[in-house]
Amino acid sequence: GNSVTQMEGPVTLSEEAFLTINCTYTATGYPSLFWYVQYPGEGLQLLLKATKADDKGSNKGFEATYRKETTSFHLEKGSVQVSDSAVYFCALSDQGGSEKLVFGKGTKLTVNP
Amino acid sequence: DTAVSQTPKYLVTQMGNDKSIKCEQNLGHDTMYWYKQDSKKFLKIMFSYNNKELIINETVPNRFSPKSPDKAHLNLHINSLELGDSAVYFCASSQAGDLAGEQFFGPGTRLTVL
């Protein structure tokens, strides 16, 4: 079945450091790919998405590119802030007609001042 | 206005009890979901309803029964609660038929079974 693998956390960075959170997927067909973010005590929010190969999703300084050849969708940010501290989830849409999202296990990011 | 709301936010109960969690969305979406997030933050879908009709049931125990009285509401009833049911339960909604569409999540209900 479809699956998402993302790097184990937790990740701890200093403010203004460069962030990469790796995400790879296994899927049949051409799923859409997503990054969701969960701030402490809150539900998940969509951070960015890409719907086809070579698409780049971006939002709030975060970027991720849909790489079909490496089945990856790595999340990057050039300069993180304390307010970026959260849990980040990579996900894909199951295109079996069910509109189901399959999530990775989440990566906790802590940014220190 | 809150897009997806859940009640209660916290629920503490004894093993063997029956409890319900309610979810409402005011986004006009046709599809609603229940997810379970365990203590390690792993998030897994439980159920999905499209316009009051069950379309996903991810081998969840029969003790869990979703009910959708209308397309804006999806409630989750849990019978005979067990310790392993302790988790955060998230409701979500999306526009039906949009496989690239965003799912909007509620704030979660933290269930603790003692």
pLDDT in 10s for each residue of chain A, 113 residues: 789 999 888 999 999 999 999 999 998 888 889 999 999 888 899 999 998 899 999 999 999 999 999 999 999 999 999 999 999 999 998 765 556 788 999 999 999 99
Strands A62-65 and B64-70: unpaired
Q: Do B56 and A100 touch (CB under 8 A)?
A: yes
pLDDT band at B1 (very low <50, low <70, confident <90, very high): low
Residue B77's DSSP bridge partners are B20, B65
Q: What average pLDDT does range B60-65 have in this prediction?
A: 91
Q: How much is the pLDDT for B46?
A: 92
* pLDDT tens profile B36-56: 999 888 889 998 888 888 887
Residue B70's DSSP bridge partners are B73
Q: How much is the pLDDT for A7?
A: 87
Helices of type H across chain A: none
Q: Do B41 and A101 touch (CB under 8 A)?
A: no
Q: How much is the pLDDT for B100?
A: 61
Q: Do A46 and B42 touch (CB under 8 A)?
A: no
- B94 pLDDT exceeds 80? yes
Rounded (5°) CA angle B108-B29-B98: 105
- Taking the Cβ of residue B25 and every Cβ of chain A, the question of whether any pair is shorter than 8 Å is answered with no
